[in-house]
């Protein structure tokens, strides 16, 4: 891995092109790549659904990455992915906007399902891994920050599952996912992570309950990145087995206490919550006036965790959030620094889901 592994860069907003280029510049990715390297971009295209569903990596982010790299003189770039078992990668490339990217930037698309596979081993696990992936000099992992029905969180570590054979994917699920995911990353881990936190699903990898989060995150340590993603979804890293196992294997660090989290700006976009499904159900606990997308998303994820633990039913009043509550005095409960005139409020811009969870439990 590269130097400065403890750094996590975060940028907020809804202009994917500008955000991506600004965060790549701040991360100085070009200094990490040797001239002439074959660069692989590995998005999450698990199914043929647009990124607005919360399931797949935004083509706007991917396009901006390609533009940035090409402007820096890197012209050997490939996009590679293998969709879920029974799903067509070619259809995902088309529906998710990647065929258009390929044509626009003259960057080839590669379906790892159609590749030859090499048998690699770690910790007693033998795995069929894409030969093309193993030939990549610099691998940029582009996961979506979202929930998962089995592993709770899917990020950089789990996104590597797209480079193994379909038979291997089935075997991973039979083995419970966590341990083999960690050992896959022991064999080949990403060199750089740029995560799509614009819109991810609340708790399911195939989308359906999208949460507008309006952020992009960069890092070089996959374990640390996933630890941060877990915290954004309201989990502590040690609660996610494949993160803890990966840290134990020496792949990276899961200590957010030692991470250097660099926020390049503050979110100023106004939340537009999903009008149906689980997000709508959770919104009944919220009194929001012009809440920023990042702050609102953190509260939604916190409420989802509290619902799972049974603590949400203890909440006796709605939680106020948003810029519309600035300088408003109230005896109610507020979330975020905009509610600092409330009798009881949690500071932060935005406060983290974990802090929100602790705050609500202490005050319910």
Average pLDDT over every residue of 172-194: 97
Q: Is the pLDDT of residue 347 over 80?
A: yes
Can you give the pLDDT at residue 169?
A: 96
pLDDT tens digits, 57-95:
999 999 999 999 999 999 999 999 999 999 999 999 999
To 10 degrees, what angle do helices 16-27 and 59-71 make?
50
SS3 labels along 119-145: EEEECCEEEEEEHHHHCCCEEEEECEC
CB burial class (10 A; 0-12, 13-18, 19+) of residue 122?
Answer: middle
Q: Are 194 and 140 in contact (CB under 8 A)?
A: yes
* pLDDT tier for residue 3 given thresholds of 50, 70 and 90: very low
- Report how far residue 108's alpha carbon sits from residue 213's, in angstroms, rounded to the nearest whole number: 30
Can you give the pLDDT at residue 273?
A: 82
* Residue 174 within a domain: yes
For residue 110, give the 3-state DSSP assignment: strand
Question: Based on the domain organization, do 111 and 219 belong to the same domain?
Answer: yes
Question: Based on the domain organization, do 95 and 53 belong to the same domain?
Answer: yes
Average pLDDT over every residue of 244-258: 97
Please give the full DSSP string across 47-90, using - where no structure is assigned. SS--GGGTSS--HHHHHHHHHHHHHTT---EEEEE---TTS-HH
Here the CATH number for the domain that contains residue 145 is 3.40.50.11440
**Listing from the earlier edge strand, what are the strands of the sheet with 39-43?**
109-111, 77-81, 39-43, 138-142, 192-201, 210-219, 7-12, 260-263
Q: Rounded to two decimals, what is the model's pTM?
A: 0.96
Question: Based on the domain organization, do 228 and 85 belong to the same domain?
Answer: yes
* Residue 269 within a domain: no
Question: Based on the domain organization, do 215 and 250 belong to the same domain?
Answer: yes
* pLDDT tier for residue 260 given thresholds of 50, 70 and 90: very high
- Report how far residue 87's alpha carbon sits from residue 166's, in angstroms, rounded to the nearest whole number: 10
What is the average pLDDT score of the chain? 96
Can you give the pLDDT at residue 23?
A: 98
* Residue 268 within a domain: no
- Domain closes at, from 236, 263, 290: 263
* pLDDT tier for residue 277 given thresholds of 50, 70 and 90: confident
Average pLDDT over every residue of 125-149: 97
Can you give the pLDDT at residue 2?
A: 38
Tell which residue, 189, 211, 235, 228, has the closest CA to residue 295: 211
Can you give the pLDDT at residue 265?
A: 97
Can you give the pLDDT at residue 274?
A: 78
Q: Is the pLDDT of residue 1 over 50?
A: no
Q: Is the pLDDT of residue 229 over 70?
A: yes
Domains contained in the chain, number? 2
Average pLDDT over every residue of 328-334: 95
Can you give the pLDDT at residue 364?
A: 81
* Residue 270 within a domain: no
* Residue 130 within a domain: yes
pLDDT tens digits, 103-130:
999 999 999 999 999 999 999 999 999 9
Cis omega (within 30 of 0) for bond into 188: no
* Residue 172 within a domain: yes
Can you give the pLDDT at residue 116?
A: 97
Question: Based on the domain organization, do 38 and 117 belong to the same domain?
Answer: yes
Q: b/e for 172-194, b at 16 or more Cβ within 10 A?
A: beeeebbbbbbbbbbbbbbbbbb
Question: Based on the domain organization, do 132 and 206 belong to the same domain?
Answer: yes
Question: Based on the domain organization, do 60 and 207 belong to the same domain?
Answer: yes
pLDDT tens digits, 28-66:
999 999 999 999 999 999 999 999 999 999 999 999 999
Structural domain boundaries enclosing 296: 277-362
Can you give the pLDDT at residue 296?
A: 97
Q: Is the pLDDT of residue 312 over 70?
A: yes
- Report how far residue 40's alpha carbon sits from residue 35's, in angstroms, rounded to the nearest whole number: 14
* Residue 271 within a domain: no
Question: Based on the domain organization, do 85 and 227 belong to the same domain?
Answer: yes
- Report how far residue 335's alpha carbon sits from residue 250's, in angstroms, rounded to the nearest whole number: 37
Question: Based on the domain organization, do 228 and 289 belong to the same domain?
Answer: no
């Amino acid at each position: 891995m590269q130097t400065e592994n403890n750094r996590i860069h975060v940028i907020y907003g809804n202009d994917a092109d500008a955000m991506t280029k600004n965060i790549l510049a701040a991360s100085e990715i070009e200094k990490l790549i040797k001239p002439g390297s074959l660069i692989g971009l590995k998005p999450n295209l698990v199914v043929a659904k647009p990124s607005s569903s919360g399931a797949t990596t935004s083509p706007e982010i991917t396009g901006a990455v390609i533009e940035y790299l090409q402007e820096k003189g890197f012209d050997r770039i490939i996009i590679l992915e293998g969709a879920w078992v029974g799903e067509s990668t070619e259809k995902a490339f088309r529906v998710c906007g990647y065929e258009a990217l390929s044509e626009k930037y003259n960057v080839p698309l590669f379906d790892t399902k159609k590749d030859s596979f090499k048998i690699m081993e770690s910790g007693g696990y033998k795995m069929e891994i894409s030969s093309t992936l193993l030939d990549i000099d610099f691998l940029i992992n582009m996961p979506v920050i979202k929930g998962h029905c089995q592993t709770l969180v899917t990020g950089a570590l789990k996104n590597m599952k797209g480079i193994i054979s379909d038979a291997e994917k089935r075997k991973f699920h039979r083995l419970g996912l966590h341990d083999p995911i960690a050992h896959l990353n022991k064999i080949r881990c990403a060199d750089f992570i740029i995560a799509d936190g614009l819109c991810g699903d609340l708790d399911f990898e195939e989308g359906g309950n999208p949460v507008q989060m309006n952020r992009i995150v960069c890092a070089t340590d996959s374990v640390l990145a996933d630890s941060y993603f877990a915290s954004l979804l309201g989990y502590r890293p040690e609660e996610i087995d494949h993160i803890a196992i990966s840290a134990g294997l020496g792949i990276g660090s899961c200590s957010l206490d030692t991470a250097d989290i660099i926020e390049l700006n503050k979110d100023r976009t106004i939340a537009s919550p999903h009008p149906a499904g689980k997000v709508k159900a959770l919104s009944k606990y919220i009194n929001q006036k012009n809440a920023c997308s990042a702050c609102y998303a953190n509260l939604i994820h916190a409420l989802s965790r509290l619902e799972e633990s049974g603590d949400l039913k203890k909440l006796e009043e709605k939680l106020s959030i948003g810029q519309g509550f600035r300088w408003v005095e109230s005896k109610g409960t507020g979330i975020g620094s905009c509610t600092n005139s409330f009798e009881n409020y949690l500071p932060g811009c935005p406060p983290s889901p974990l802090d929100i969870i602790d705050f609500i439990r202490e005050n319910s």
